[in-house]
Amino acid sequence: MAEAKYPWKDKFGDYALVPVPPGERRSMMGCFLIFTGVLACIAAIMGGGALGTMFNFRDLIIVSVVGCAILAVIGGLTAGIGAISGCSTYVNMRFPYGRIGAWIFGTIIAGISCGIGWFAVQTWFFGIFVNAIAPKIFLSEIWVAAIWGGFFMILTAVIGYRGLAVLSYLTVPMFMLLAGIGFMVAIGESAGGFSGLLKIAPSNPASFVAGVTAVVGMYIAGATITQDMTRYTTRPRDGAIAWIIQVMILMPYLLVGAGAMVLATGEANIAAAMVAIGLGLGAFLLVFFGQWTTNDNNLYSGALSINTYVPVKKWMLTVTLGIIGIALAVYWGLAAGAGMQPFINFISTLGRVLPPIAGGLIADFYVYRWYKGEKLSERYKVKPGMVIPELNWVGIIAVVVGAVVGGYLITWGIPALNALLLGFIVYVILAIPCDKAGIPITIGKHALPDTGI
């Protein structure tokens, strides 16, 4: 499509509320590197380290692969939605949840979870690592490092997609290399080789369900908002392939590597384990750049979600969310220090609340739209003047039931998977019968202007 024929006005920048034009689409490799830039963060290392205190090496591999497989399915399906529609997660959610529902769930997923929550967690982690590397310097106090580190992370998020891509090209290879070096050094020098590593057992082993839930909770927000990145891909399959490769190969690599370091060194804190095996400067570079590529993405997605109903420039929202996140990281640094309880509570909540939002979105796009006879390539294609619902009551019910019943009330199975499947099933069993009976599943109407607001 020629630029002159592009029917939308990108009022707030970075195509926050409108489809990405064909001329701005990018390759699968570009999308893959951005995904790996998000994954290459200290949360994955800290999470893997936590798994190392819960499982022996064999079980560590199993829970990592199973959890990542669940994430691959969720993220692969949502990635296809973004690539086909060309729109962000929060624009796409207007279909299964309505305009108001998209505001609510978009804010929960990205505005609160990513833009504030994950940004705060990883800024706090940054402070923990800096403090482990240089513990006697004022600037490396956990809360102080969270302040100056957090402001660095805000910078590239203001730039947008291009800034994320450039940063990922520069930092991801270094992150993966250092993680691999730490893994091999720990095994060789601390565990006495693989045979020695296989004999090490944690003092307080956890259940299989607890391990898989933790893995899913670490990245479920990312699996739900893949559309923010895949809307830039040239072909629908590119984003899904990029997501599945990085989450099935690179994420287990990071989790198992970090877990092995903790098992081998006996250090419960992965930051201390990395310092113990001699990764002083390397650990600092890994943390600094790894957090940077992930946390600017957290702010980027958070600002996109809120931009759907707060009509200001995206960079203003980015800076605002970043400041709130830094304040929360400082609080955790002062209140919890290097204790992991805030992190455990956070990912446990995400693993129960967010999956049904993805479940309803997937059900609407792949099942309900198929039932309605819409071609796959035409689903969620927004146009100026198009009428969208104010609220989709079926979608709201599906998410609430999935989160409450699947996430908390059902006591067997994996909470994240229960919540996802229940959200999916409830949406389908309500939407299709209601449509057949002539019962509207939406309330109100809203015509989209050419700004997408």
Round to whole Å and give the CA distance between 91 and 380.
9
Determine the pLDDT at residue 292: 65
Amino acid at 388: I
Q: How far is CA 423 from CA 327, 364, 410, 426, in A?
A: 34, 11, 13, 5
Closest to 333 measured CA to CA, from 129, 131, 127 = 127
Q: Which residues of the chain have pLDDT under 50?
A: 1-3, 161, 164
Determine the pLDDT at residue 356: 94
C-alpha 18: how far from chain center: 22
Which stretch of DSSP H or E encloses residue 447? strand 442-447
Determine the pLDDT at residue 136: 82
In this structure, which topology does domain 23-447 adopt according to CATH? Hydantoin permease (1.10.4160)
Parallel, antiparallel, or unpaired: how do β-strands 442-447 and 387-392 relate? antiparallel
C-beta neighbour count of 69 within 10 angstroms? 17
Rg (Cα) of the chain, in Å, rounded? 22
Determine the pLDDT at residue 339: 77
Determine the pLDDT at residue 2: 42
Q: Check: CB of residue 220 under 8 Å from CB of residue 74.
A: yes
CB-based contacts of 12: which residues, under 8 Å, 6+ apart?
307, 311, 312, 313, 314
Residue extents of the structural domains in the chain: 23-447
Sign of the Cα torsion 374, 105, 449, 164 reads negative
C-beta neighbour count of 413 within 10 angstroms? 13
> Strands, DSSP E only, in 238-349?
none
Round to whole Å and give the CA distance between 407 and 358.
13
DSSP 3-state of 374: coil
DSSP 3-state of 446: strand
Pair of tokens at residue 423: 């959200």
Determine the pLDDT at residue 1: 41
pLDDT one-digit tens code per residue, 70-100:
999 999 999 999 999 888 888 899 999 999 9
Phi, psi of 443 (to 5 degrees): -130, 130
pLDDT one-digit tens code per residue, 120-175:
988 898 888 888 778 888 988 999 999 998 887 787 666 654 554 555 555 566 66
Q: How far is CA 437 from CA 104, 289, 429, 433, in A?
A: 28, 55, 12, 6
